Structure 1
Amino acid sequence: MIRIARQPKWILLLLFALALAAVFAWLGKWQVERAVLDSQAASSLTEIAKPLIELAKPGGPIPITAGGHLTTVSGAFDPEGFVVLTGRLNQGKAGYWLVGRLLVSNSGDNGDNGDAVAARGPASVSLPVALGWAPTQDALNAALAPEKAAAVAGSGSTILISGRLMPTEAPTVPKPTGNPFEESTLSVASLVNVWPNYSGTSFGAYLIDDQGPDGLTTIDSAPPENSATLNWLNIFYAIEWVVFAGFAVYFWYRLVRDAYEREEEEKTLSL
């Protein structure tokens, strides 16, 4: 059989079978790569910052794909729109958040020097911005004072804010024995009732600032978790291509085997 397999025609057929098997193996590899790519969550894309206007529109909930996305937005802080949230965890420690009301600029893009929307005008668009975290109320108040002063001094001029966009949280009912005006969740629906002289519209989300003010700790914000799974249909196709690759070599073997058996049969009959 080895003698037959060394014949030129069978060597050429073997090379063809090996080339065919290589193509099938490559197709199997491609199917596996497709399965892995399909299993990767879009979270990798969320780490590429986009202007807020490209991710969400004011006046309604944000798309699922926008949640956890890095973004940039320009606007001016309302000096009277700062709110303190209690019971907020940061790296496992309970404390306080300082949240500001950003009046988004007309462009709503990546921080040009255009005019901000009028603070309490009918066309104002608000975006809550979680500026930073503090372990105590005193530490937060110490950072709040200069923030208010800066907002007053910079009234009407835009600044660039960058961070991670998060969907609004659900409002909570105050405890009967607690402070009815105390906020513990970043709910846009609650904030619009807390902001003085609020008018206009708001984004159904908030921004976690990635560069908090002095005296506050930057709020920890992780990218969305990968919840995707492998595409098993692609895995099945990959297994099929591997089987085809093996069959191409086996088919060559069977042809050589058949040729050998015919030759042996002819020898037997000739005796």
Structure 2
Amino acid sequence: MYRFLLTPRWWGINVFVLLAIPFCVFMGSWQLGRFEDRVDSHRGASEQAAQSRREAPRPLAELLPVNKATAGRQTTATGTYGAQLLVPGRELDGKRGFYVLTLLRTGDGKALPVVRGWLPGAADRAKAPAPPAGQVTVTGALQASENPGENGVSAAGGLPAGQTAAISAASLVNLVPYDVHDAWVTLNEGDSGMRAVPAAATPDTGLDLKAFQNLGYTGEWFVFAGFVVFMWFRLLRREIESARDAELGLPPDDGEHAASGTPSGASTTTGV
């Protein structure tokens, strides 16, 4: 009855199943590993942020370029404030407002974007306090450049003059007349009565939508593996039933008799 398993058709089916199941299990395990890596990165970033707040600030030059190891670290820089921009559409504690971003011109020939604080409401240059004059020393958390569309950063264009959607050298290069560091700093204490902006999570270290997509893909791959097994057993059962019917001399159940309402094996000839 099971000799059909040696036919070329079933050889092909069996080879496909033997390859498909390990592949689905491997892909599911890989996606699960990606999710676990993001969980570990999130835990490590949280521990690093807590530790960095207890550390003494280090000079900016020692922490550049920004990476996962240096993002969120306390840094200090000295210079004079220059151009000031607003970053609209930023939320803090569930309220919508805007950042006040001022460029600190340091002695290395580049300006450092400094978020001096957050204000509620629509972005308005009249509301933003003017930066202190003369030489200043700032202390805050070092942040990686933002990418529009990630971490809640708006990619909207057509902003009024004096505003930017993202804090990055690429976004600021056409808005200020000098070179800009590919990093920024948020002050530990808000300047001129503004609220301090907490340090943002380092990209690819938080439990964001991408992390839970990895978890969803894990479930999908294991479901695919189970579906392959289910279909193999279903095909096997149908083949066994067909072989049994053939041994009993019954015609194959192709649905023709059921459609005509005539019982299988019954004669359609009527007496005269």
TM-score relative to the length of structure 1: 0.49
